[in-house]
Amino acid sequence: MAMRNTFLKFLMLCTLAGTVACHHVRAQFIGTTSPQTESQEVLNAVSGPVVGPAWDVTKTTCTPPSGGACGIQNLGQNFHTLTYVSTSPAAQFQLRLEASIDGDNYFPLTDDATSQTSGVLYGQGYYPVVRVNLLAYSGSGTITAFYAGTSTGSVPPTGSMNQSQTYKKILASAVAGGSTATYSLNPPCASTGGLIWFQYNAGALGGAAFSVYSGSDLLNLFTTPFLYTIANNSNVQSFPVPAQPGTFIQVTLSGTTGSTYSMQYDFNCPGGQGGYGLGAPQVAGLLQPDSAGTATNNTETTSATATSIVKTITGVAGERVSLFSVNARCSAGTSSLTIADNATQIWSTAATEVGTTTFKFQWSPGLAAKLGDGMTITLASCGSGNTGTLDVQASVN
């Protein structure tokens, strides 16, 4: 009997201990065991600029009205995608996801999408507020977009789906021009190297120009900017920007009053493969971008008798003349070649090195003048009664 009572007491103590332990475990929240996901339509057949509203916390779903937008529900997701489709391939738009810490001040969470029929944007990081922002939309058709987010997973890096090292910044997308517009930005790799695209979309053409400054911040910019003049036509125009160190860039555009225009800056990290700027490989000859035209840069010239040939490639502010090859010969006699950066000689042959057999010399990468300087290639006279012939292959970019 005593043994039985002892056993019952032991059983009761075990039961009591187990009950206490179970209550203790139930009092803790160790988190959900599945990823928090959110998927919803955020733009529905929108035909003009619109900003997604704040999420209504009294609701669990949102369906955007035709031509409207929905807020994005926050369930703790830190991987974000925005899938969009436009019904018109000719539409021009600027679309992105934005994030905020306080719900008042927003910054881009993804790269900007622009003028594409469809695509996907990606962003990473947890923020208390995430919204969609269609900053600009012009042209026919409408755009519809869907948001999807999760608290775990593997998605491409922030930006549009682009496996190259090129990074783009939309400065303007079909906006009304004015006397002056200033765009400030932080380049992705502390370098100005890249390409600026410009196009007049409508209205008056002519008289526009822009400058590119760089430095550490707005108060500390290089005093000499890169300067560019925009042609008076509606074609897409491109302007190579040399690589110059700087963590802050300011682009100032003037003379677009009465027009509508778009402008984009494509960057390339120094040392990258492809793209533009310092990381771009040089390709000899006609494949190089050539803002000064090919009338002087890639031609063959034959002199009059006993006359030298002087080819001058005019410098362009903010760009660099590069010489890739020279071919020279004399009908009889001998001659020499000299190359000057403005008035400073930077290369030459021996006095009689050019003869009746074609003299050829190539540079890879190109023989470059100083930024903004011109280059002069001179074939001296081949002698009395003799002609000289000179081929030059160069570019300005």
pLDDT at 22 over 60: no
pTM for the model stands at 0.49
Nearest alpha carbon to residue 326 among 287, 354, 288, 291:
354
Q: Residue 273 — very low, low, confident or very high, per pLDDT cuts 50/70/90?
A: very low
> For residue range 95-133, what is the model confidence (pLDDT) as tens digits?
899 999 998 999 888 888 865 678 888 888 889 999 999
* 187-213 core/surface letters (b: 16 or more CB in 10 A; e: else): bbbbbbbbbbbbbbbeeebeebebbbb
Sign, Cα dihedral of 145, 146, 151, 154: negative
366 in Cβ contact with 284 (< 8 Å) = yes
**Residue 327 bridge partners (DSSP):** 360, 391
Q: CA 395 to CA 319: how far, in whole Å?
A: 10
Residue type at position 152: T
Map out the domains of the chain with their CATH numbers: 37-160 (2.60.120), 166-281 (2.60.120.1300), 286-396 (2.60.120)
CA-to-CA separations, 269 to 81, 157, 278, 370, in angstroms, rounded: 25, 16, 7, 22
Q: How high is the pLDDT of residue 355?
A: 94
Taken in order 310, 281, 283, 396, the sign of the CA dihedral is: negative
Give the angle subtended at the CA of 57 by the CAs of 51 and 58, to the nearest 5°: 120
State yes or no: cis peptide before 49, omega within 30 of 0: no
What are 303's two structure tokens?
Answer: 């002199």
